Structure 1
Amino acid sequence: MRKLLGIFIIFIFAAVIILPAVIIEGLSLFRPPVQVQEGRQLVRVYFHQTGTVQILPLEQYIAGVVAGEMPAEFAVEALKAQAVAARTYTLKKIEEARVKPDELHPHADICTDPAHCQAYADDDVLRRRWGLFNYWRYKNKIQEAVRATQGMVLTYQGKLIDPVYHANGGGRTERAADVWGRDLPYLQSVPSPWDKDAPRYQSTVAMTLEDLDRRLGVSLTAVPAASLSPGGGAIKVLERTATGRVKTIKIGGKTFAATELRRLLGLPSTDFTWQVQGDNLIFTVTGYGHGVGMSQYGANGMAREGKNFAEILAYYYRGTRIENR
């Protein structure tokens, strides 16, 4: 009887004391992330997927951009650098929209299409991407990075810069002048050896000659295979940038800027070589993105070596300053 009474008392104790504590501790895993301090600045965001415009607090929007643009597994200092770059880009777009609205989103300051502005990931997307448990951990991590840099932007001679960025520069970033024809003192080429750790540091793209003809409006299928190989004449690099990337190229009698060719063929970057395999052209590509400004994998590599976000930004955007706006 005493034994049963002892078991009963233990059961009651567990039910009244221990079980609620376990439940409360478990629920802490599902607490909302630490909220970013909101300022008064608002941003009009065009969601290209739905064709709608939403007005969001700036810092909330920046957290969504960081989540959409950079892997949450990256070091915190890299996430901070991304937050400052994204905030600078956004405020610059707001300034530009006041003077001349963008033709693609005239009623918004910025859009969620990464090919035109910046990527943005909302909570529904992040839950699917990260899973329920990682969602809270990564969301908190990103919001902490945004909060730690709140209001910080990059300037050059007192003006907001154009803080472009890309996934990885293939070992060295590119000058803005060689990509867009506009020289900016803070967007110069710098070594980025950390890019070699990126999963898409080097990739291949295979394309049939028929598909190439269709995309480019040429007739390579009628050209002898030997002429398609490097040095064969049917495909010839006319000009390279200082970093060795293709700048202009002649294909089947037509001349293309490498940036346009990259868009038409869906190549990861303009740093490529090619070879012929039967009826296919195989492109070997180094790097991912336009190559100008901050390399995101480079930023992560620097952070893992102990550099802070300010040092990362100063390295990729030469001569700039961090200011509070």
Structure 2
Amino acid sequence: MRKLLLAFLGLLTLIVAFPSITLKFYQLINPPQIQSAGTIVKMYNHQTQKIESIPLEEYIVGVVAAEMPASFPVEALKAQSVAARTYIMQRILPGGVKNSRYSGADVSSDPRDGQAWISQEEMEKRWGKLKYLEYFYKIKWAVDSTSGQVINYKSQLIFPAFHASCGGSTENAEEVWVAALPYLKGVDCPYCTDPSPKKQVTYTLAEIDQKLKTNLSAIPVSTVKTNAIKITKETSTGRPKEIQFGNKEYPATLLREILKLRSTRISWNINDDKITFTTKGYGHGVGLCQYGAKGLAEHGKNYEEILKHYYTGVEISSMK
């Protein structure tokens, strides 16, 4: 009896002191299969072009694998798991958000329709056989550890917006979309760890004219540099909200789409007949910053602390 007690205490010490050992032990006793409590997601799969019925937790694993690098810390993956579950439960629960694009489906696998999803076969293809085992177990651990958990604001499921990197601070929802949401407020993001925060895209003035229906190429370059392009309105975090090109004004969110820019943290430089746009961050900048979540996790924050940092005034609760 004494030996059994000592063995148990030794295992408990290892689990507390070395979380990675806990993960390895979990991997040994859990084969790579995903269990579900019974909730089914009807997803339109863009690869098969069919509606597939997928157990909820299996669906969440596929979303996390598609939306966040598996190399990120487990606490960041947990945060992404809860956000992904909240998103889909909005579409499954009675009275929730309806999917109108694919009749009979709750959601699709295309990130342009909401959030991405990949199969286990695609995971193995992307990561290779050895990395697949490591990363699959890691993501499954994150999903299982948060099973049934969702994000609420005043007892209502939130819209869990997320993006890759914010460039230092997130944005208020109303600065990007029409509606203001009390839990989607801009916050500082001190540990945004995006390894390539700045990206540049260059266009000729003639190309800009073609894309934006302007006449910049007909204006002297000196005038273009000094007066033809300017920020006319900024957001509360200092991002451009509206930018004027000649006699036309564009929302920064629309410019990001038309010019294929990574974010709305936009600056530019004009040299001869070319304009180079420099952006910082990646995505719309609202809600959870994925690289910021990685940084917070690396600085000791758990997934609940991460979620409550990016979603103001929320609570994490269980559906069970």
Q: What TM-score, normalized to structure 2?
A: 0.87
**Paired letter, 1:299:** A
The CA deviation at 1:82 is 0.3
> What's the counterpart of residue 246 of structure 1?
240
Give the conservation status (yes or no) of the 8 Å contact 2:41–2:55: yes
Indicate yes or no: 2:293 matched with 1:299: yes
* Partner residue in 2 for 1:156: 153
Change over 3 Å in CA distance of 1:32–1:266 after alignment to 2: farther
Matches within 5 A, 1:1-325: 33-95=31-93, 101-195=98-192, 197-229=193-225, 232-325=226-319
Secondary structure at the aligned position of 2:227 is classed as coil
Residue 136 (structure 1) shift: 0.6
**Residue aligned with 1:233, SS:** helix
1:231-289 deviation line (CA, Å, top 9, x unaligned): x2221211000111111112132221111111111111111101112332101111110
What is the rounded CA distance, in whole Å, between the counterparts of 1:205 and 1:199 in structure 2? 18
Deviation at 1:46, TM superposition (A): 1.5
Give the whole-Å Cα distance in 2 for the aligned partners of 1:309 and 1:134.
24
Question: Matches of 2:167 and 2:160 in 1, distance apart?
Answer: 19
Structure 2 unaligned residues grouped into runs of 5+ = 1-26
Alpha carbons 1:101, 1:107 under 8 Å: kept:
no
Rounded to whole Å, the distance in 2 between the matches of 1:183 and 1:247 is: 15
Greater Cα radius of gyration, structure 1 or 2: 1
- One-letter amino acid of the counterpart of residue 58, structure 1: L
SS in 2 for 1:193: coil
CA contact (8 A) 2:65 2:117 kept: yes
2:203 is paired with a residue whose SS is strand
The CA distance in 1 between the partners of 2:121 and 2:223, in whole Å, is 51
Alpha-carbon distance between aligned partners in 1 of 2:96 and 2:30, rounded to the nearest angstrom: 38
- Structure 1 regions of 5+ residues with no counterpart? 1-28
What count of residue pairs does the alignment treat as equivalent? Answer: 293
Deviations, residues 63-104 of structure 1 (Å, cap 9, x unaligned): 0000000000000000000000000011112348x6674332
Aligned-residue identity in percent:
44
